[in-house]
A and B are shown apart, each in its own frame.
Chain A
Amino acid sequence: MSDFFKNAISSPTDANARKEAIMTQVRTELAQANAQQLVNNMNERCYKACITKPGTSLSGSEETCLARCLDRFMDAFNIVSRTYTARITKERLEESSSSTFF
């Protein structure tokens, strides 16, 4: 009953605001999950690459290595992303008639 009234009363702009709120929340959460995944993967790789003998604290050279590793990992992500997207686009164009892949 109360739902029915809410529904009848809510103005179009109100519904619009709720829609926008849902969209924003979904976008934010996905972006957060994406960033978290990137950081986790990077942490694992850069630890492996830079901290070969864990000492009592991070040394200066280890920090330098980590900072570089961060930049390179971002580069790698972008290179892979670009290459993958380009390939998918190409495959779609070629196989648009008899699409079997992707």
Chain B
Amino acid sequence: MADNFDEATKKELSAFLEKEQTQAKLHSTVHNLTTMCWDKCVTSTPSTRFSRGEESCLMNCVDRFLDTSIFLVRQIQERRD
């Protein structure tokens, strides 16, 4: 089906697919983080809005997860040296 496109269109399509793939990967990460941080931060019965603590817990949860990832990579690099 995609065979009879000209070169420019093929290039455009492949750039489009790459962009969509990046976007899908981002979405999948956000899904994972949302469930992980929900389980950690939202422990009470859901009410009409998040408490201050729950909201900041969710934000901290994301940032500390990324810190953890960076920290562990650095540790592994240090140990290898």
Residues of A bordering B, CB below 8 Å: 3, 6-7, 10, 15-16, 18-19, 22-23, 26-27, 30, 33-34, 37-38, 41, 44-46, 49-50, 65, 68-69, 71-73, 75-77, 79-81, 83-85, 87, 91, 100-101
Contact = CB atoms under 8 A, between A and B. Distances in A.
B57 to A, nearest CB: 10
Contacts, number: 107
A27 B44 CA distance: 36
Given A68-B47, A80-B62, A45 B38 contact: yes
A77 B30 contact: yes
Contacts of A44: 35
B34 interface: yes
Given A26-B20, A34-B27, A76-B37, A83 B62 contact: yes
